[in-house]
Structure 1
Amino acid sequence: MSDKKKPGYAEIASHFRKLIVDGALAPGDELPSMREVMTEFNVSITTVNRAFKMLKAEGLTVPKAGVGTVVSDQPRVAATASARLKRIERTGKPYGAKETSVDHTAQLRSIADPMLADQLKLELHDEVVVRTRTFVRDGHRTVFAVSCINMRALIDVPELLSSEPLGQFWQEVYKARTGKTVTKSPERRSARLAYDYELQALGVDVEPGTPVPVLVLVNTFSDEDGPLEVWEDVYAPGLWQVDTE
């Protein structure tokens, strides 16, 4: 490392976390030894050990006898929306290792939720574009994602009404065609009971009406003309959420 300031354990953990989220380190891949990391980052073995413990606690790595530390299969780990967006910015890849998305839908709907209307600065019952998809990693459904997009985006990206995946994050198309800058608000997290249709999308097999708590992450995007999109992620019960910072 050429930086004068030595990185802390959290920064070292972030470095490897990004490699794992981006797919540069796939499940089963071996991480460098702690001594190699100590030399690369010019830090103490104690700092490296704390970084490795953090990755293990997050479920991203596991010890393997005779080998060292390897990337885990991560059956219960899902990246946050912010992490996915950062990965797209770094790599251009819409998916992580062994990940895809299914059950894409796109339609016009009127806003019945006062909170959503306020977030988009619209009136109740105004129309928005609603796009949904379910992220799947290694055969496991992990996240049900809903995007509510301001109708004005259709002027420049009419493809939003197609249920087919766009091949890239739609906002990149919007920015390229309009020259506008899109900013994201800080990610907001809350917990609530899942709706039956969300459990169905996530493949959670319970009787209708069964209370199942889920974690929900919300991101709001805006350009110079105001709010553009509210993106809500509903995570399958029991998943860890991992960011890259």
Structure 2
Amino acid sequence: MGKQSNAARKAKYERIADDLRDAIRAGEYADDGRLPSESDLMARYGVARMTVRQALSVLQNEGLTESRKGSGVFVSPTPVTGSARLARLEKHGRIYSPGETSTDHVAMIRSCTDGDVIEQLEIEPHDEIVIRRRVFRQDGKPTVVALSCIHMRALAVVPELLEQGQLTPFWQKTYTERTGIEITRSPERRSARLASSDELAALEIDIPATAAVPVLVLHTTFRTADGPIEVWEDVHAPGLWQVDRGTE
């Protein structure tokens, strides 16, 4: 009997944690980042305070939330993965997490020499691609340099890709609306490398020119029936936890 009771109690707080995690991923707390109070959660789920605290502890241990004395529990101001960002955009139309903005939106055409991008886009070395670059900020501080490397065939459908500034709506949505062709994405790939001088400048990291700074790099490849169409690269600032909120 004791074992069954413990298992049931554990399953309940885990279900509550799962529910709140999904809500965070969906951007339901994007306005101010504050989760419901313990009393509200107790009433919502019909459970004891200890069960609610266990669920909140799970989220805090995962780095998704933080407790602020006298104010409550808030979504942590941590960089979100590109895949999670897009999943939230597709489902709820929200691209930003609480306190997040983006700046320095730049568009250009460049000859591609990056071996990984060449492989993922299935192009030849020095083929031209469209590049869109922006910097995501959390409470004004730069956290992610995001680079979209886009196949030239997309430009014929969405010429707005070369417009400077933020594109609204997201260009892939425009592409699908105009062509009826669905764009799918691969699982996110994660690696690390040394940051370039341009990336360090965008992240506002001031160090000697000879210093080496390792950064976390995330790649997501997008495809149509005609082949790969975009490689999205996120370069995360060093010293920050990166949290995957919502790749489903």
TM over 0.5: yes
1:237 deviation in Å?
Answer: 1.0
Alignment of 1:1-245 (within 5 A): 8-18=15-25, 21-24=27-30, 26-27=32-33, 29=34, 31-33=36-38, 36-41=40-45, 48-57=52-61, 58=63, 60-65=65-70, 69-71=72-74, 74=77, 77-245=78-246
Superimposed CA distance per residue, residues 191-218 of structure 1 (whole angstroms, 9 cap, x where no aligned partner): 1111111010011111113111111111
- Structure 2: unaligned runs, 5 residues or longer: 1-10
**Partner-residue secondary structure (3-state), 2:24:** helix
CA distance in 1, matches of 2:17, 2:29: 20
Superimposed CA distance per residue, residues 69-102 of structure 1 (whole angstroms, 9 cap, x where no aligned partner): 321672xx11111221122123313333332211
CA contact (8 A) 2:29 2:75 kept: no
CA contact (8 A) 1:22 1:87 kept: no
Structure 1 residues 147 and 30: CA distance shift in structure 2, 3 A: closer
My pick for the range that moved more, 154-163 or 83-92, is: 83-92
My pick for the range that moved more, 50-59 or 101-110, is: 50-59
CA contact (8 A) 1:8 1:47 kept: no
Structure 1 residues 10 and 190: CA distance shift in structure 2, 3 A: farther
**Partner-residue secondary structure (3-state), 1:79:** coil
- Let me know the Cα RMSD of the aligned residues: 2.4
CA contact (8 A) 1:83 1:242 kept: no
- Structure 1: unaligned runs, 5 residues or longer: none
CA contact (8 A) 2:17 2:59 kept: no
- Please, what TM-score do these two structures have when normalized by structure 2? 0.84
CA contact (8 A) 1:142 1:202 kept: yes
CA contact (8 A) 2:121 2:230 kept: yes
